[in-house]
Amino acid sequence: MSTTLTIVGCAGSTAGPDSACSSYLVSHTDTAGRTWRLVLDLGSGAIGPLQRYCEPVGLDAVLVSHGHPDHCADLGALDVLRRYGPGRDVDLPLIPLLGPEGLDRRIGQISGDLDDRGAETFDFRPLAHGDVTRIGPFVIEAARAFHPVPALAYLVTVGQSSLLYTGDTARCAEVDALAARAHTILGEAGWAHREINPPGVHLNGDELGQMAAQAGVSSLVVTHVASWVDPAPTLAQVQRHVPGAVLARPGDVIAL
């Protein structure tokens, strides 16, 4: 058995010159040799590099944290690939799409057809705070995040590994509670570029580091640094609390 996290895209808020927006592939090969693939977020630009690592039309599930374009815009691209691309003539099962209530409406807004909820591609399963669901070997727990739109953080457990993906969130008790049970945290530091910030949007490097340290988690991958800033000072902030923290980079593969 092996489980890996591949950084498909990690640029915060907009795609950057070297990275698509948030998208992370969790792959788990079970004892029978079958590899299961789950994607956390499909932000703008992510469908491009995702094709380096897997066949997107064959994903086992897509989990989306919230409806901001840097996290969900390429649901529209995946829908197009399924309808008109390599998935067109193949009898593939619908892809489970998990996310906050109303996420399916974003697909129609992206495509320009408001009646279109991606129903030819996705089996939408809304999640709310406290929900626990299973996709193949993955056990997925959702927690309410603290962000201007409905947003969820996820604890994904497979085998002996538990990964917390924060999505976008300010510090809050709900996400802290999942962090306490995680082995690895894939955490956002979207406020790297500002000293003084409005409440309830993002973490800065200090806050992310404190969250992981207080949870006792030493395996910390820092992501969603705004695409237009140098991430080095943010990593230094995080490492004051968690010395082994690393910065997410496109193409990185991390063993879970």
| Residue 115 CB, nearest approach to Zn ion (Å) | 26
CA distances for 8 relative to 18, 117, 234, 251, angstroms: 11, 25, 20, 6
| Residue 74 CB, nearest approach to Zn ion (Å) | 13
Q: Which is nearer to Zn ion, 39 or 135 (CB)?
A: 39
CA distances for 99 relative to 127, 131, 134, 176, 233, angstroms: 5, 11, 14, 19, 32
The answer to whether the CB of 129 falls within 8 A of the CB of 178 is: no
What is the Cα–Cα distance from 70 to 54, expressed in whole angstroms? 21
Q: Which residues pair with 56 in a beta bridge?
A: none
Q: Which is nearer to Zn ion, 163 or 225 (CB)?
A: 225
What residues line the site for Zn ion (CB under 5 A)? Answer: 68, 70, 168
- Strands (DSSP E) found in 10-84: 23-29, 35-40, 61-63
Q: Which is nearer to Zn ion, 141 or 168 (CB)?
A: 168
| Residue 12 CB, nearest approach to Zn ion (Å) | 6
Q: Which is nearer to Zn ion, 162 or 169 (CB)?
A: 169
| Residue 218 CB, nearest approach to Zn ion (Å) | 25
Q: Which is nearer to Zn ion, 68 or 117 (CB)?
A: 68
Residue whose token pair is 């973490």: 203
| Residue 22 CB, nearest approach to Zn ion (Å) | 6
